[in-house]
Structures are given as C-alpha cells and as structure tokens.
Structure 1
Amino acid sequence: MSQNHYQVLGVAPTAPAAEIKRAYRQLVVRYHPDKHGGDVRFEDQFKAVAVAYRVLSDPGRRATYDFQLAQTARRADEARRQQQHRPATQHVYGVPMPPPAPLRTRPPAGSHERHYQTIPRQRTRFNRRDWTLTLLFILGIALFTLAVKVTMDRVTATSNYEDGLRAYGQQQLAAAYSFMDETLHFRPDYAPALRRRGELELLVNRDPRAARADFQAALLQPQPRQVAANMLYRLARCETELGLSTAAELSLSRALALDSTLSAAHLARGKARLLDLNQPEKGLADLNRGLAQRRRAGAATPWHYVQVRGLALTALGRYDAARNEYFQVLQAHPRDGRTHFLLGRLAARTGDPAAACEFYRRALRLGYEYARTAETECP
C-alpha cells in the first residue's frame, strides 16, 4: 500500500492515543464488510485499518514504526538530493536505482533478550591530595565567613559609635550610653567607645566599679598622651570613690607623667595625699601647682581646693596662711557653711574657743549640720 498507517487512519503522526482510537472506531464502522455486501475493496480497507490500529495502539510497535518511517523519509531525501546534484555528463534515464534497504519488521529486543553486566560498586577513597583540597576549601569558606562577619561588625560598631557621640553632644546621656553599649557588643576592644561608656557610667549610672573596668580596658589600647592622661584621671576618680587611695594616687601620677599640665590631676592627687594618705607636704605642693596652672590658664578658681589647701596648711601648722585661704573662700562665697566650720576648727586649735563657737553657730545657721557636734561643746 502507498499509504502509511497514519494516512490509513486519517490522523497526524503526532496524534495522541485517544485520537487514534476514535478514528479507528469510526473507520471500522464505515468499512465493515457486512455493510457493503462483502465488497472486496471495503474488506481490504477494513483489514488495512485493523493492521494500522494494531501497530499504532501499541507504544512499542508505534515507536518502531515511527523510526522506520523516519529512516524511509531520510533515504528518500538522500535519493532526491542525489538526483538534483547529478553531474551533467550522467544520463538521467536508464541509470539503475540502488535497491531499497530492507524494512525492519521485528520490534526491538526486550529486556529479557538483552544481556546486562552488573558493574560492581567501587568504594570511593580519598587520597592525600583530595583531603588537602577539601580542607583548604573548608578553610577558605571559614576565613571568608569570618572576614565578612568582622567587616560587618566594624561597620555596625562605627555607626553606633557615631550615633552615640551625637547623642552625647546633645546631652541625651541615656541614649548615648545605649549606643556605646551596642558598639562594644560588636567591638569589645574599641577604646573610644570604652572611654565614653566609662564616662557615662559615672554620669548616668553612678557606678564607679563598672566605669573603672571600662577605663582599664581602654588603657590597654594605644592612646594619644593627652587622651590617656585624661582617662587615668577619671580612673583615679573611680578608685577614690571605691576607697582605693593608693591605686588612685598611682593613676594620677601616671596621668601627670603623660601630661604635666593637667591641673585637675594635680588637685586630685594633692587632695588624696592630704586626706587619704596623710602626706600634707606632698599634698600642698600638688595643690599649689594645680591652682597656679588654673590661674595661668585664666580658668575659674576651684574654691573647694582652696579649702583643701587651707586644711593642708593647718596640718603643717601654718595657721595664718590657712586662715587667709578660708577668708578668700568667704569673700567669694560668704554663705558657705563649711568654710565657717573650718574657721571654727582653726580658732579652736589656736586657743580661741569663743571665736570657734561663733563660727560653729554661723555654720549651723547656714545649714552645715556637721558643725552641730562641735557646737554642743561650746558654753
């Protein structure tokens, strides 16, 4: 027959199985010999339809048939191209055509006819080179991850520190402390944040122990001389509040070794040497130096330290000089009860109980309650 099975059923080569089955049923009814009185032509067509459906309804047979059709079409195309490119000297007619290749009538062999050889599974073994490459790869990933984390932590810490500085400048101390604390969460050894948080521990939380820990950690990092001197001064303040007099004097001495112009450190060390370490001569020298530096710088006179210098002069038996210090303070602050009390103690030490009692009474009237015990001893 000149028609292939698809043409017999009237369907396309890409038709699905359902369409092939539907076409088969229609053609079987149309070409059934009983409807045509046993006409041989319809009987042949009926058989051709049955054969076509038997091949196309089976997926395996259909695949084989499609392959044969493709091979036949390819050979026909090759023959057509050879005919078109025939040399001019070759006769077109009378040349015998090559015999057609035999059609494959047997379906492909099934799995029971094929011979498979089981390939044994081989156990994968790593050699030294494989292990080295694997470890280097893992190490590279770990180093890359660590580098990314460190970079992100530094960027976040820097951003929080800048926000904390702005809040500090705007006197938003609680917000500044939170930003500094967050900065140190990402960079625990960041000295500027440690220094600022230490200052805020004193200003906001009133926690000299925590502030001392922050200043000590910051001083472990390289610092400019003046910054380090200022931190040592603040560290000494914390140690003074904690009752660590010897440590406070050592911190103030280190601060002055770095910056001898730090008048606050001179004054603080003079007070510590006088009141805590019982060294009036050294204390007086520090107080004189610190007050002189303040005066040369044109800064305001810290009258509290003038009172402390009066105490140092009293301890050294220089009563007239001490009295002059106290009267200087009274000229600036005439209603300072503490100064009146100190004048009373000086009068009592110089053998003038009447003047001492008068100064004690004035101190009490000005609200200085520490003078009450001394006043009770007056007649």
Structure 2
Amino acid sequence: MSQNHYQVLGVPPTAPSADIKRAYRRLATELHPDKHGGDRHYEEQFKAVTVAYGVLSDPDRRAQYDYQLQQATRRAEEQRRTTAQSAGSGPSVYKMPGTPAAGPPLRTRPPAGSRERHYQQRVPRQQVRFNKQDFWLVAGLVCLIFLFGISAKIVMDRVQANLYYADARTAFAKGQWLEAERQLDQALSFRDDHAEALRLRGQLRQDINHDLQAARADYQAALLADAGHALATPEAARLLYRLGRCEAGLHEPAAAELSYCRALTLDTTLAEAYLARGENRLLDLRQTRPALADLRHGRGQLTRAGRPVPLEYLQTEGAALAHLARYEEARATYKLALESQPEDGRTLFLLGRLAQQQGDSASGCEFFRRGAKAGYSYAVAAAAACQ
C-alpha cells in the first residue's frame, strides 16, 4: 500500500514542525544515494522523503494536505460501510400476519371480472368561468406590475444622474473642464430636469466655453425644472443673475433688465446683481441716474462685506458721474479704480476724457499717453490725436 507523507517521514499527523524537520534530516542522511552507491531503491526513497518534507514544512500546504487526507479517509469509510451493508442484506419477502409458512394463498372471493377491473368513476368536469371580479383583479395586478417597473426605472435614473453629477462636481473642482462637461451630459441623459446639473453646465459654458447661447438655455431649463420644487431663494437669485449676464452679452438689454430685477426681488443682498443692472442701464438702456443708484448700492454692499469691487464697475460708475457732469466725484471714483490696478489702460483713458471735458487738454493727453503705453487701443488713438 502507498504511504502518505507522515508515514514516509515516520511521524504522526500531529507532529510539530521541529519533529518533522529532525525526521527529514535523519532520513535524508540515511537514504542519500551517495552513501549507497547509487542504488535505485534508496534513490526513490530519498525522493519520497524530500517530497514529503516539502509539503509538511509549509504550513499552508500541510493544512491543505491534511484536509485531503481527511476527505480520503471519510470516503474510504463510507465505501466500507456501503460494502458491508450490501454483503449482509438479502432479498426480503413480505408475509402477512397469520399466513401459513407454505401452501397456496387463501381466497375470500372469486376473482373480479373484466368489467369490474376496468370500471372508472367518471366525474363531470366543471366549466371554468371568468367573471367580472376576476377581470378587475387581473387588470389591477397588471397595473401594479407596470407601475412598479416605471417607479424602479425612475429611481435608477435618478441614482445614475446623481452619481454622474457628483463625478462632474469633482472634475469641475479639479479644473478638468472637458471631463466635467461629459459627466454632466451623462447625468442629463438620465434625468433632463436635474436642476443642479443644468446650473453647473450653464456655468461651465458661460465662464469656460464662452457659449452664452447654450448657457442661457441651460439656465432657463434649470429655472423650469425648479419651478415645481422648493428652490432656495439665494440660489434662484444667483441663477437669474447669471441668466441676465448671458442676455446682456447677447445684446438683449431688456431681457437682462428683467432677469436682474427678478434676482433682486428674491435676494436684495446680491451686490453683483445691482452692479450688473447698473452697467446694463447705463451702457445699453441709457438710464444714467437709475444706473448710478444701482452701482453705488452694489459697491456699498461689497465694501460693507469687506469684498473688493470689480474694476469694471468702478469705471462704469465713474462714467455715469461724468455723464451727469459730477466731475470731482467721477475723478475720485477713477482714482479708486487706479488704486486697485495702477496701469489699467481703460481707467487712464477715462481720466483723459474727463480732463478734456473739464478743459484740461494737457492732463488729458498725458493720461492718453499712459493708457497707450499700457496697450489700450482707444488710448493709442487719442494719444495720436494729441500730437
């Protein structure tokens, strides 16, 4: 009979690793082929000892080998039990109580005739009727299954849209504009009324791609999507402000005016909307006094909040004051603009125009030359006219 690895090394299955190692060293020394002149019998034994030690010295391989031995032992035991049962059992004959050991069976009546043997009682089959109650029950079940399917699809679409939107937010924060737009497109393909995704894609198209037409479409869709929801007022105000900026950039001042007014109705602390409405009223609608009121109100809000006023709005406020012939106030406003950016060509050009309006041509030409040096095209033309 073939031996297992424990029998080859001469150790019990519970032997520790140290005993297995000592047994291997002893047998390897005794059975080494060099000590027996290359005898094939000893060579085979030496190989078996080496293989057994390779398995039992590795804890993982030993555990797997022990499991295989247990399985083989269990199968052998089951086979032995089955063989013993088959050998000890023979054909069994059932005998009724009180039946004699020998002799023909007793009959209590004559055998049944053919008509009796083939008699079957026929039960009339009842006709199945599908009544009105059954119809409504089936119809209700079909409707429930249909509604469940629709609800499951809506829920899964919302989950997928939210996952894509979260990935888009991450890509947008990292400055990965193309990836952010792709993820937003995926989110909107699952749920075209996802207001947050529409707002973010509009912002990306407005600020990064400078596609004002597409950005305006996204902002309008976001407003429609939020029409039936509890939209936070500041968020809606900022959305309307961005919509107004798109409309102003598309040379639609009346639509921009309406969007700015709606934004300020929702949030009167939105300084950016005051400034943008003032710029739109001055440059496009030619409403100087309302424009100046908006520009000063927005600048005051930013100043109280400790936030810087954008340079373009300071320039616009100065232009409104100059248009109203309030030259000293205009000059003071332009000086504030120069403090934030001393060599801005547009501010220098506006100071030159203001000096010309007050009859100081020399100072005007000096401002024009500084603006031309800064690279402002209108200042270059005005400086050339001074020579």
| Maintained 8 Å contact 1:174/1:204 | no
TM-score by length of 1: 0.66
| Maintained 8 Å contact 1:198/1:210 | yes
Q: Give unmatched runs, 5+ long, in structure 2.
A: 1-92, 119-126
Alpha-carbon shift at residue 187 of structure 1 (Å): 1.4
Name the CA shift for 1:130/1:100 in 2 (closer, same or farther; >3 Å): closer
Name the CA shift for 1:224/1:83 in 2 (closer, same or farther; >3 Å): same
Alpha-carbon shift at residue 261 of structure 1 (Å): 1.1
Alpha-carbon shift at residue 130 of structure 1 (Å): 5.3
Alpha-carbon shift at residue 318 of structure 1 (Å): 0.7
CA distance in 2, matches of 1:189, 1:214: 10
Q: Does 1:201 align with 2:205?
A: yes
Q: Which residue of 1 aligns with 2:181?
A: 177
Q: Does 1:311 align with 2:326?
A: no
What residue identity is the alignment partner of 1:204? Answer: I
Q: Which residue of 2 aligns with 1:219?
A: 223
Alpha-carbon shift at residue 128 of structure 1 (Å): 4.7
Name the CA shift for 1:226/1:104 in 2 (closer, same or farther; >3 Å): same
Alpha-carbon shift at residue 101 of structure 1 (Å): 5.6
TM-score by length of 2: 0.65
Please, which of 256, 266, 276 is the counterpart of residue 268 of structure 1? 276
Q: Which residue of 1 aligns with 2:302?
A: 294
**Equivalent residues in 2 for 1:1-379 (5 A)?**
81=96, 83-84=98-99, 97-98=106-107, 128-129=132-133, 131-220=135-224, 221=226, 222-379=230-387
Which has the higher Rg, Structure 1 or Structure 2?
A: 1
2:213 alignment partner, SS class: helix
Name the CA shift for 1:204/1:338 in 2 (closer, same or farther; >3 Å): closer
CA distance in 1, matches of 2:97, 2:370: 135
CA distance in 2, matches of 1:229, 1:153: 28
Q: Give unmatched runs, 5+ long, in structure 1.
A: 1-75, 87-91, 110-121
What residue identity is the alignment partner of 1:98? Answer: R
Alpha-carbon shift at residue 103 of structure 1 (Å): 10
CA distance in 1, matches of 2:275, 2:248: 13
Deviation readout 1:281-335 (Å, 9 max, x if unpaired) = 1111111111111111111232221111110001111112112222232233221
Alpha-carbon shift at residue 360 of structure 1 (Å): 1.8
CA distance in 2, matches of 1:252, 1:311: 21
CA distance in 2, matches of 1:332, 1:241: 25
| Maintained 8 Å contact 1:338/1:363 | yes
What residue identity is the alignment partner of 2:281? Answer: R
CA distance in 1, matches of 2:328, 2:112: 138
Name the CA shift for 1:101/1:371 in 2 (closer, same or farther; >3 Å): same
Name the CA shift for 1:96/1:332 in 2 (closer, same or farther; >3 Å): closer
Name the CA shift for 1:154/1:102 in 2 (closer, same or farther; >3 Å): same
Deviation readout 1:80-115 (Å, 9 max, x if unpaired) = 52643x9xxxxx99x99438966999xx99xxxxxx
Deviation readout 1:147-188 (Å, 9 max, x if unpaired) = 111111111112122222222232323222222221111111
Provide runs of 4+ in structure 1 moved above 4 Å.
99-105, 124-131
What residue identity is the alignment partner of 1:158? Answer: N
Deviation readout 1:237-278 (Å, 9 max, x if unpaired) = 111111111111111111111111111111111111111110
Could you say what the CA RMSD is over the residues aligned between the two structures, in angstroms? 3.2
| Maintained 8 Å contact 1:270/1:284 | yes
